A and B are shown apart, each in its own frame.
Chain A
Amino acid sequence: MNRLIIKGGRFLDPVAGIDGIFNIYVMGGRVASFKPAYADTTEITPGPGVEVIDAKGLLVTPGLIDVHAHLREPGFEYKETIRTGTLAAAAGGFTSILCMANTRPVNDNESVTRYIRKKAEEEGVVNVFPVGAVSVGQNGERLTEMFELKSAGCVAVSDDGMPIVDGGLMRRALEYSKICDLPVISHAEDPTLAGSGAMNEGEVSTRLGLKGIPGAAEESVVARDIALARLTGGRLHIAHVSTRGSVELIRMAKEEGLKVTAEATPHHLTLTDEAVLKYSTNAKMNPPLRSSGDVEALRKGLKDGTIDCVATDHAPQSIMEKDIEFDRAANGVVGIETAFSLIYGLVAEGLLTLNEAVSAMTIEPARAMGLDKGTLRVGSAADIAIIDLAKGWTVDPAKLRSKSKNTPFAGMTLKGVVEKTIVGGKTVYSRE
């Protein structure tokens, strides 16, 4: 059996409460043992079947988990494929990702789910967990066969990309999904309030003469969905929370003990709508970048656990969809390769502890989606990220692994460089 030894790194696992210098022994793709480096007298010699990674001075964590990525395959392979999307994920330190159902065809039946899983097994480099649609064709009319979706490998259901306008359908989804204990991920947006808005409604949209999307377009649906979670007892997960009002609603729902979890994206945690000031379509996404007050509320929410986890909403778009008029340009940013560094930036600013940041990107997303991942125990699959916190890097879109380059962070220098990503004991990314 192949062996891998990760030597002398700072191993941080929030669940186990470990933060120290350890040697990690991996055998047959699983964690065999942890030994405190100072007490480890084992003779370690690399050789055939024995790989040794010297992690001295580096951070070693459970592999990162992203509960919100768009891999675009099947149907939009010119934007991203399962291959390129998982390579990008690996470069970002992610070892497990959930992929959204808004492909073509929509992942609304088990054959599409099986196709995605097969592709991921053959061509992907990280664990891919499909999210099934809530409604057939994401048309917001009829429920999908959730039990079959789950049997085929879906771990959650969502019409993400399309809001569920019909409150009655959302209610049935939250009720019916209880059969198979699938969380329902809500893209909370009232399209009648969002209208044809292209960015956050406020001073910046007024300056730019762009139609705005008020925070109320999100908050009113977050409030509705929380009321439905209360009514049904279903598992509700709010995707990409972007406003202060939503954070407050979720905080109250949690205090009440409802089964509600939530995520926020690195871009909503670090940018405001001022990023749009030069009509940069790479700063256009849905929900839009909000005000500094919203960003502050999201950060506080992440710190106090109201926002359970960080999720990227990695949404590749080609130049054909982005280098056009701002109001016609497609929504979405790629984010899976910049996520860790941006969240580590919050640590460097003193807003989060490293433990909180790692937790929000490992165990918390796993818990929200019910995945047996996000922590390393003896016997766990060896999904591991190795990161150099001391090093910085400048975001160069041309160098991103993702097929699409629509990042609002181009040219920015970020701290925290992913050195290696290991999935099931196999190194799937190694920085050149």
Chain B
Amino acid sequence: MKISLNWIKQYVDTDLPPKEVARRLTMAGSEVKGVQVIGEGWEGIVVGRITAVNPHPNADRLTLVTINLGSSEETVVCGAPNVAVDAMVAYAPVGARLINPHTGGQETLKSAKIRGVVSNGMACSEKELGISDDHTGILILPEGFEVGRLLADCLGDVIFNMDVTPNRPDCLSIIGLAREVAALTGGTVHLPDASYEETDELIDNHISIEIEAPDLCPRYCASLIKGISIGESPRWMQERLISYGMRPINNIVDITNFVMLEYGQPLHAFDYEKLAGRKIIVRRAGEGEEIVSLDGVERVLGSNMLVIADAERAVAVAGVMGGANSEVTEETTTILLESASFNPRSIHYTGRTLDMPSEACMRFERGISPELTMPAIKRATQLMAEFGGGQVVRGIVDVYPGRVEPQPVAVTTGEVKRVLGVEFSREQIEGTLTLLGFECRPGSSESEVVATTPYWRSDINIPVDLVEEVARIIGYDEIPTTMLSDPIPRQTTEPIIGLKRKLGESLTGYGFYEIISDPLVNLEILNRLYPESHSPASSPLRLANPMTIMHEYLRPNLRICVLTAMVNNRHAEGPVRLYELGKVYLPRPDDLPDEVEMLCGMLGGPRSEMSWQAKTDKAVSFDFFDAKGIVEGLLTRLGVNARYEPSTDETLHPVKQAAILVGGRQIGVVGELHPAVTEAFDIPDPVYLFEISLPELLPFTHEYRLFQQIPRFPSMLRDIALVVDAGTAYQKVVDIIEGFPLVTQVSLFDVYSGDQVPPGKKSLACRITYQLPDHTLTDEEVNKVEQQILGKLSRELGATLRS
């Protein structure tokens, strides 16, 4: 919102520099985000009156213009078409800084001889002054400025770019901001004189007003102005509108806009002759009722919207936009002026539903006091009489079914201290509130102030609202800075937060980069993870209002996001290791979805960065056992024992995948992506994945585990090479061996098939560690167990020792 400081200063006197006014407003809640100074650098440029225009002796298109500057006269050479005797212009002497209209840069004006005649300065265009881009002629100033005065004093202004918070509709007006400035500087506000003359006719004879929906319209005021002639509004008013960023239209529309900006009360002008039955009815719209709004669009209304109607039809969508059927046009002579109060929720709903944001709507939906309707309509009526050439019919119709007596709010010095942590005296509190327009009286105790809220403030309801008023006007800087001094509350850390940290530490140590993805995904891309069924087992949650279809569904798994990141990085050199720790969202009937924390990691490319020590021309690629090794490392670090079994995850390679089982439950999966999936995602090389559900894993992780004695007696290592059927799972071998006493560890150090091993068989070379806590093992003891092991392996798996 662009606000002219000159305009504010029309209602409040302040000599503070603009930056300081901006700072105080900002600190007190109405943020000034930018300060634009108009007239900055206009040193020496003054107002002058043209006293003579003579032809240039050597050029047809140029003139010699004599300008009276009060104490002196100067003659300049001018090429503008709009020079005329008596016109008021901006005169720049030699040495003034002006904008070069061709380059846009600032230049110092030099004395120049133009076609043989010396030009002593110049008359400036708007563009040369930096006011606008207009360079078609020189700037002609309105009458009333004193000749010889600095232009900066006449036209200079400071524009505040403001952000007003939604609780302060009063600050969406110049007078409201003037009140803030007054409270912050100790000044007083002068309201404009809004008196006008009236004819003898009574308004009640011309219009009747009925409110059928008082819950949506607490007050409706109207005045009637006859004999209007539509024309331009005065230049000063146009300038005010332009300073705010509004386009002047005609005197009537400009006056309603001007008063809305001045007072904050939206107004609407009807062409009285177009109202059927001399009637205004404020009622709910019929379901499906239609109206063509001022912008020419046909709107279909609903029964929870409010309309202004005449005897026959709706003539405006209340508070949102007028109707074309009652619009003020060139021919309009009689105006019915509306100043009303509408239910803010209803206006917000209507504006949002019809998608018709407007300045009026923005003010109504924030909640304007019904008390504001009267001062605003008087001011606008006065301006219409003055600048619309009209006569005002006697009286203002005022239908006010929603009158509410203001409820005073009480606050004590104790409450102020309880909230702010600093003591303010009763006098300080009362003084501050009085500055803001509150009427204060003593309360039931010495420390209590009872304050009646001024009508323009709709945001004060409870004592703490008054505490904020005191704090923001006195200044937050006056509140001390202390540290919380009470004992620290009992802490119970959510275990899953600790688990996430540990996983992150391990994975980054393994060379993984953590990623974070947008959990909103596209369904078609998601379906590419399912090369057979072409869709996930259960449908993911959909957004009712997605931004784009690329972000329409909440991810039902994490792999879609990690895979997308793999795709994004497929041109990266060297190994790519990515993981994400994040939620997936699984629908539950009638309830919020189950948000499951997942870990998903992927790796692809060469196993190592290029190095001169490895034969990296053909770098070894990652394989399934890299992914599995990472899972084993993660789980070992957490003290979790897992088993692995073949599994059937559709996204993964049918044989290169394993379920991760802990305590008999599947907690995740590890495997190579199905070639059809990598192809669908346009990734040339294999990608390996691991995925673990954190809630499934969490119960098996331990806060701490007890110390285990370091073995005091040496272990004995024995290597055996077994020949088993090629299809026999190593896990079965391990399970048998580990089932024997003395065995503390089994490590596999070779897997072989080919020469020296019969077809259909494989050789597994294992190192078995034997150990006892209470004595050094003898060969005999170990031999005995080894024989038993070999016997069982032979019986159950048909294993033989490799010769």
User: Are chains A and B native binding partners rather than an unrelated pairing?
Assistant: no
- List residues of A whose CB falls within 8 A of some B CB: none
By a beta-carbon cutoff of 8 Å, the part of chain B in contact with chain A is: none
